[in-house]
Structure 1
């Protein structure tokens, strides 16, 4: 295969909403820019089923992120901003923004798994895709949810949960266990420990509360469902359906549990954003831990298993004889919309990777930052959502009961500043890379930052910084913050809400 070479000022790897905003900002500043998306669809989670946006405090959202939600409102003929929308509507808006600003984006542009990054003199010179195409650039932005470019460029990162002692935090590491209610027998053959534990149930949490580990919170797909008979496709029983994945569900049902089993948050035109909720739901608990460091083939297998698990869950709730008739009738009307995700069989192609690698950069955002006890003098965005983590594992407690572990939801009193130093690597590791999604943050703090509107804000700020670094030829660590701040202020970023500002009650949001 003959390789083709291309040269740009700014190369954005990752075409989710944050990556697109990064690219748009660099283009607006006159830089030759391209966005390379490894998957088949632009927009990431924003166009991938996550239509029930939790922005935290909307006052903290400005710039291109705010513009995106304003454009959605106009598309639906509504005033103000729209925070609930269909996947295809979000995709249309992003494509309109890209067309208006002249941003080029390429899908199916995945980094070569081995040897895909050419790095010399502490700078990335070029990246090579699986297609053989080579893209050279002055500055690179890793806008993926996984941090693949960052990792292959030799930048330090962490996967999993720090222990509380590392940064003096209270919400990191292994959490207090929460028993399943009602209680269920944990063994494959009830009452027989020799038969082994149920699938995905660990014999213990793996350490003491507050200890660090390498586990990550659960992933899922944000299902877009519809009950419109004219637009509905049935969800069939998957060919690789694993009944053991639902044994906890069956035993809960036998004890009288009635759900809920997933959310039916309504979007326009009789569609939903169906997310995890309750004791047993769409999160494939325990199956996320290997994803960050997995190769492409293993990731694809894990993604397929998540898809199978969730389709199997819907089919189970609709058809399985161990599910009470009343529950089967309740979920029977729901199926996949014909007019969404045509490129991936009407199922979203973007797995909700809630957390993967996190860079160990120039500055680490901790829960002390989130709580406002640390001063940040170089903000490039504000976070305002609660510190939120989904469950990490099923395990037994000391009494032998099945528990879930890893979840928390800790409110934030006021928006907090995210430092520019948190989106750049250490100077000694790479001088021309910015990382707005897998940024430098602890697990606890990332639970607040990991929201699509905030990622868009950080993406835009990364695009502006990349443009300045590319124009000057200097390192991203040497970008003049005063100049960057003036550009971000000019372009509508919200970086300061004033001393004493407190988020109004009720705007923290619901667990994502």
Structure 2
């Protein structure tokens, strides 16, 4: 039995998908610069980019997915915020398709149970969020990409873009690789709009960004035996002495000791991932903060043996750059639930702007569901270029809600479908027939306004 037949016989991933991925890397002891041709190049394998790549691959386009890290899922997996929401609003599902398929398969394979979406939750939106097994989500996402024919390239990042008559030439560097990829359409799903910047398109960013959070869990104590009234006094004393910072545990000592899953209790001020230097600083500050918190916790009665149960490798980032798109979704658009002629996906989440000392979500009025138009995916002055995810064109308040994972999955599927249709019809995304695009999204289970 040859290698191709043996791999295919395993029934896990198609042999063609695996071999396509491996053939793209030519390393024989020296750096080579081969030319690779593809239809669609998705850059960033996070929440939005993964879904965009699967959609483009399933629709029939030759697709490459570049990811600078070691796994798919981004903030949900590497960042540890494995608590995606919200897929339902006011008693009906508003985000479905490929993202929902991936989430529900992860829940089922892990033996978990979905929330009861029929129960009203009022302002307690976490009741409709879904805690996922993050490593399993990453593996299933990878498998779905390969089955869709997507060529995944980890540890690679674009360093230069050149516009062509009908697409792009992208210079890419990686571990022992230096390649050029010719593509017809680009989807920037980096979260920072970093590829849009390489292409020369304008980005938007406030004077400050929302704090980030290092996701962790502590153990080694019995919660039922702790006197939280006394512990809160000691917490306040530690703040006054400067032994602890409020940002180390913005939800107080109880939040610090009871945090579970993908929830955050810590803030890293001005955390930014748009450059390696800034991301390095955010990671170091996140771990320094956790050390302070752990040392404090171990001084508390009943917590002398506290230890770290889990800690993510990276500080999760909430906000950096957004594109200056053909349309900028405003805070007013979002809270009014404005539906545009070119709306392609829904978003339902409170305005969720984190600040120095915590967060106070501002919930949407009953019955309101926001939407995302195609024009918000397209940088001004661009051709054959889309973004997906939190770098969508929006003001800061609207973006604080749009950035969440279910919304990003909906945007990712819309962007993948738009890139496919643009390739098929030889058009730039801004020129696409909207009804045909909506029909395509629905074909793959997506929910469109």
TM-score normalized with structure 2 length: 0.77
Matched, 1:98 2:137: no
Which residue does 2:203 correspond to in 1? Answer: 157
Give CA-to-partner distance per residue, 1:250-305, whole Å, 9 cap, x none. Answer: 487xxxx9623537444xxxxx33412xxxxx2112x32xx3653x2x13431432
Q: Does structure 2 conserve the Cα–Cα contact (< 8 Å) formed by 1:219 and 1:353?
A: yes
Alpha-carbon distance change, 215 to 56 in structure 1, aligned in 2, over 3 angstroms: farther
Say if 1:263 and 1:441 are closer, same or farther in 2 by CA, change over 3 A: farther
Task: Please tell me whether the aligned partners of residues 436 and 455 of structure 1 are also in contact (alpha carbons under 8 angstroms).
Answer: yes
1:462 and 2:409 are equivalent in the alignment:
no
SS of alignment partner, residue 301 of structure 1: helix
Q: Evaluate the alpha carbon distance shift between residue 87 and residue 292 of structure 1 in structure 2; reply closer, same or farther with a 3 A threshold.
A: closer
Deviation at 1:20, TM superposition (A): 1.1
Aligned to 2:214, which of 213, 216, 221?
221
The question of 1:436 aligning with 2:378 is answered: no
Name the CA distance, whole Å, in 1 between partners of 2:96 and 2:304: 38
What is residue 281 of structure 2 aligned with on the other side? 302
- Structure 2 Cα separation of the partners of residues 260 and 246 of structure 1: 18
| Alignment partner of 1:61 out of 73, 95, 98 | 95
Which residue does 1:420 correspond to in 2? Answer: 374
Question: Pairwise mapping of residues 146-185 of structure 1 onto structure 2 (< 5 A)?
Answer: 146-160=192-206
**Contact kept? 1:387, 1:444, Cα under 8 Å:** yes
Structure 1 position 373, deviation (Å): 6.2
Structure with bigger helix share is 2
Change (3 A) 1:376 1:330: farther
Alpha-carbon RMSD across the aligned residues, in angstroms, is 2.9
Q: Map residues 40-439 of structure 1 onto 2, 5 A cutoff.
A: 40-48=70-78, 49-55=80-86, 57=88, 59-78=93-112, 83-112=130-159, 116-120=160-164, 124-130=168-174, 131-160=177-206, 214-223=207-216, 248=242, 250=244, 259-262=253-256, 264-266=258-260, 272-276=261-265, 282-285=266-269, 287-288=270-271, 291=272, 294=275, 296=276, 298-319=277-298, 323=299, 325-326=300-301, 329-330=302-303, 332-337=305-310, 347-372=311-336, 374-391=338-355, 393=356, 404=357, 407-413=359-365, 414-426=368-380, 428=381, 430-437=382-389, 438-439=391-392
CA contact (8 A) 1:146 1:353 kept: no
Inter-CA distance 364–33: structure 2 relative to 1 (3 Å threshold): same
Correspondence for 1:22:
52
The change in CA–CA distance for 1:306 and 1:102 in structure 2 (over 3 A counts) is farther
Name stretches of at least 5 consecutive residues in structure 1 with no aligned partner. 161-213, 229-243, 267-271, 277-281, 338-346, 394-403, 497-512
**2:181 aligns to what SS in structure 1?**
strand
| Cα deviation code 1:144-199 (max 9, x no counterpart) | 12111011111111111xxxxxxxxxxxxxxxxxxxxxxxxxxxxxxxxxxxxxxx
Cα distance in 1 between the residues matched to 2:317 and 2:303: 29
Distance, in Å, in 2 between the alignment partners of 1:37 and 1:304 is 19
| Native 8 Å contact 1:219 1:283 kept in 2 | yes
Aligned residue for 2:11?
none
Instruction: State the shift of 1:476 in Å.
Output: 1.3
What is the distance in 1 between the residues matched to 2:71 and 2:447? 29
Residues 331 and 73 of structure 1, relative CA distance in 2, 3 Å threshold: farther
Q: Using a 3 Å threshold, how does the CA distance of structure 1 residues 251 and 424 change in structure 2: closer, same or farther? A: closer
The Cα shift of 1:313 comes to 3.3
Q: Counterpart of 2:253 in 1: which secondary structure? A: coil
Instruction: Give 1:111 deviation, angstroms.
Output: 2.3
Please say if residues 40 and 349 of structure 1, whose CA atoms lie closer than 8 Å, have aligned partners that are also in contact. no
Alignment TM-score, normalising by the size of structure 1: 0.68
Gaps of 5+ in 2: 1-30, 116-128, 222-237
Contact 2:337 2:370 (8 Å CA) reproduced:
no
- For each residue in 1:297-352, what CA deviation from the matched residue of structure 2 results, as whole angstroms up to 9, or x when unmatched? x1343143234224313432334xxx5x23xx348444235xxxxxxxxx434432
Which residues of 2 match residues 470-481 of structure 1 at below 5 A?
470-481=423-434
- The alpha carbon displacement at 1:356 in A equals 0.9
* CA distance in 1: counterparts of 2:43 and 2:337, whole angstroms: 34
Aligned residue number for residue 398 of structure 2: 445
Secondary structure of 1:377 counterpart: coil
Rounded to whole Å, the distance in 2 between the matches of 1:96 and 1:300 is 29
Match for residue 197 of structure 1?
Answer: none
Per-residue deviation at 1:13? 0.3
Distance 2:205 2:364 in 1: 24
Please give the secondary structure, in 2, of the residue aligned with 1:364.
coil
Cα distance in 2 between the residues matched to 1:488 and 1:263: 43
Task: Give the corresponding residue for 2:41.
Answer: 11
1:484 to 437, 444, 447: 437
Q: Which residue of 1 aligns with 2:121?
A: none
Aligned length: 379
